Amino acid sequence: SEAGAAGPDDHAEFAELAQWPVAGAEQVSLEGFYDDFAARGLVYGPAFQGLTELWRKGNTAYGLVRLPEGRSAEGFGIHPALLDAALHALVAVREESGDARPVFLPFEWTGV
């Protein structure tokens, strides 16, 4: 089993996130993104279509994820739909760059 920990010094690399969008990042269009998923057989309901913005700076992708109106993250450490939507940023930025290598998204999480 693998474990991770975060301490007070671990957040320094995230300082550029104090400004949104990140300075120097370029917006990536998400038009048709979830339609493309559906065309491949990955049909996501409205609660799981939470990637609302995607920005790219060099080799780094920055995604903004939100739950749809009426949904609440209360009772979750990380809401499953938000975690899933954050992973969608990997797919979107890979496809936008023309990288044909597949990105595998987890289907089920246990013991996390």
- pTM of the entire predicted model: 0.74
Q: What is the mean pLDDT of each run of 10 residues along the chain (112 residues)?
A: 52 79 93 89 88 90 90 89 87 75 69 70
Residue 9 covered by a domain: no
Strand ordering across the sheet containing 60-65: 26-27, 51-57, 60-65
Residue 11 covered by a domain: no
Residue 47 covered by a domain: yes
Residue 11's pLDDT is: 65
Please give the backbone phi and psi of residue 24, each rounded to the nearest 5 degrees, phi first: 85, -5
Residue 12 covered by a domain: no
52 lies in which domain range?
A: 18-96
Number of domains in the chain: 1
Residue 91's pLDDT is: 80
